[in-house]
Amino acid sequence: MSFTKNIVLIVSISSLFLLHSTNAIHLPVAVETEVTKLCKGTTDSILCVKTILPQMHGNFNAYTALEAEIIAAKNQVVKASTVIDSLLKNPTTPKGLKDSLAICQNQYGAMVDSVNEAIAAVTKHDAWSANMKFSAVVSYRQTCDEAFEPELPPTNLSNEETTLKLVGGNVLDISKGLEDIEIANMKKKGMMTDYSKITSPPSKCLHVVGSCTE
């Protein structure tokens, strides 16, 4: 009987601990809803929510969410760089492959700089600059892929790059969405000219047959 009570007590304590742990990491429904809304329509919305949600603390902030996704991309860049370095150091790696990897090593080094610049832009709530800076990451990655043509990159590198493509696509989608909001707000405040509403006066030569000078 005593043994049974002890088991029940242990299970009860474990259940309480699990419940406490779950509540400790649970986010307000409003935050989860906003993150899901932000990620809707991105390159990989499920991955977007998965990478951003754990990094959200307190109230929802779209720029904090964007920064979290950029950091996720940076982590992926680091993982790919580690694979490249490992293959370059491996004495069994063929010379031709090492030449391609050396190009990638250079490109991935440049990626880190671009990612850091994108993060700096986000801290200033400048989504336009963040999008522009991060776009360079796509270009650098493509240059790396092309270095292996007509062959394909090594599988372990390709796997990391596939995830980087998805996270990177999410970054560009989110930053473009915020950029559009920034532009709309600036137009409302009269800080930016809405050229779509500007019309030119009719031409003097509109109904003139033959030569005409304005």
Give residue 130's pLDDT. 96
What does CATH list as the number for 66-189? 1.20.140.40
Give residue 8's pLDDT. 37
Give residue 27's pLDDT. 58
The per-residue pLDDT for range 191-210, each reduced to its tens digit, is 655 544 545 455 455 445 45
Give the residue-averaged pLDDT of 144-170: 95
The per-residue pLDDT for range 9-33, each reduced to its tens digit, is 333 333 333 333 333 345 567 899 9
Mean pLDDT of the chain: 83
Any idea which residue has 């509403």 for tokens? 197
What SS3 class is residue 92?
A: coil
The per-residue pLDDT for range 102-131, each reduced to its tens digit, is 999 999 999 999 999 999 999 999 999 999
The answer to whether 115 and 134 are in contact (CB under 8 A) is yes
Per-domain boundaries in the chain: 66-189
What SS3 class is residue 193?
A: coil
d(CA 53, CA 51): 6
Q: Is 27 left (phi over 0), alpha (psi -120 to 50) or beta?
A: beta
Give residue 89's pLDDT. 97
Closest CA to 70 of 158, 25, 131: 131
* Three-point CA angle 182, 129, 158, nearest 5°: 120
d(CA 117, CA 129): 9
Give residue 23's pLDDT. 37
The per-residue pLDDT for range 33-63, each reduced to its tens digit, is 999 999 999 999 999 999 999 999 888 999 9
The per-residue pLDDT for range 142-154, each reduced to its tens digit, is 999 999 999 999 9
